[in-house]
Homo-oligomer: A and B are copies of this chain.
Amino acid sequence: MAAGAVTLRHVADAAGVSVSTASRALAGKARQYRISQQTERSIRQAADRLGFRPSHVARSLRSQKSGLLGVLVPDVANPFFSAVAREVTAAADARGLSVLLADSRETTGNEVTLLEQLQSRQVEGLVICPVGDEGEHLKQLADSNIPAVLVDRGFADVRLTTVTTDHRAGAYEVTRTLIEHGHRTIGCLQGRPGTLPNEERIAGCRDALRDAGLTFSRRLVRGDRFSEESGYESCLGLLDEVPDVTALFTFSNQIALGALRALQERGLSVPDDLSLVTFDDHPFAGFLAAPLSTVRQDVARIGRTAAELLMEQIQTGRRPRRRLHRIPAEFVLRTSIGPRP
């Protein structure tokens, strides 16, 4: 082991004391154990001189505490998840914990395996952004007493603390706004069907249509993944089969991108031919050819909330009473929404 050539034993020998004394002195318990100032100093000096770095591994084994938090996401390179990772990392750091990062690459199979690995490493808590199509393994996790928080794609039937955007309210506001602009045929380019964010958003759309006395149609909901490709294809399909569509609500930035490409190909312009609005704000959203209206998820707050709830669980050893935490989203109206052509 490159790092750990020098152990407590070496320090103790160098200072002419026993390992126990060295351990106590270095742990700042000199007073408590009435170790003489001189002894303490010589121990510290020896440690410094030898470049002693205590082994976290040994410490973990002895104390039965790994000092590790697990963060499991479907794709760290996705800005949403990397923001979550950042917040959890910051919170962990502030408490002297470290973060084990795992990336399931949007595959539930990997998620299951990685989850087991993280538990093997005795993580003291978990923040999981599930892939979202299957939650059996998470139910098991819920039955264990290991502190865990789900973020974003939670499950209605998994009894784990969950932090997610108030997707329903966000989608409601988007749809209401489109209706106010005169739109009646609104296409939804959705993400992965069955996931909590997706279904909540659809519910929000349905509510808004109903409240306006309009009817919701499944025919207007297209797409199957939170990806550029899905956005592109579902947009083309929708334009072909429902030519009177006048507004598009895309469920992610990637999907919006695909839709933009499709619209460009068809020579349609925003907002003159079609209005466009998407979930997920973006630094460049305001500088687009058609400044894009968006629903801005408060990723930082989501991550922070998840981290806090996890820390609370770790400290108290109990799950917080409230299970589902909905973080408000902010609707950002830009000129990509226009009146019905």
Contacts and interface: CB of A to CB of B under 8 A. Distances in A.
Interface string A283-327: 111011100000000000000000000000000000000000000
A288 B264 CA distance: 13
A312 to B, nearest CB: 16
Contacts of A110: 93
A289 B93 CA distance: 41
A119 B2 CA distance: 9
Contacts of A105: 90
A134 to B, nearest CB: 20
A273 interface: no
Interface string A121-143: 11100000000000000000000
Interface in A318-340: none
Given A55-B120, A146-B3, A77 B66 contact: no
A99 B102 CA distance: 7
Contact of A120 (B56, B119, B283, B287): B56
Contacts of A103: 86, 89-90, 93
A257 interface: yes
Interface string A94-108: 000011111101000
Tell which of A1, A85, A90, A254 has the most Cβ of chain B within 10 Å: A1
A18 interface: no
A145 B1 CA distance: 9
A64 interface: yes
Interface string A54-89: 111110110011100001000111010011011001
Question: Within the oligomer, what is the number of copies of this chain?
Answer: 2
A116 interface: yes
Nearest to A87: B77
A4 interface: yes
A32 interface: no
A114 B60 CA distance: 18
- Between A4, A57, A117, the greatest number of chain B beta carbons within 10 A of the residue's beta carbon is seen for A57
A260 interface: yes
Most buried by B among A65, A100, A103, A257: A103
Nearest to A300: B77
A93 B284 CA distance: 34
B100 A98 contact: yes
Contacts of A257: 283-284, 287
Contact of A284 (B55, B58, B116, B284): B284
Interface of A: 1-4, 53-58, 60-61, 64-66, 71, 75-77, 79, 82-83, 85-86, 89-90, 93, 98-103, 105, 110, 114, 116-123, 144-146, 228, 253-254, 257, 260, 264, 282-285, 287-289
A-B pairs, top 4 by smallest CB distance, nearest first, are A82-B82, A101-B101, A2-B146, A77-B86
Given A58-B61, A284-B285, 15 more contacts: A2-B146, A4-B122, A55-B120, A61-B61, A71-B101, A77-B79, A77-B83, A79-B79, A79-B82, A89-B103, A93-B103, A99-B100, A100-B101, A254-B283, A287-B289
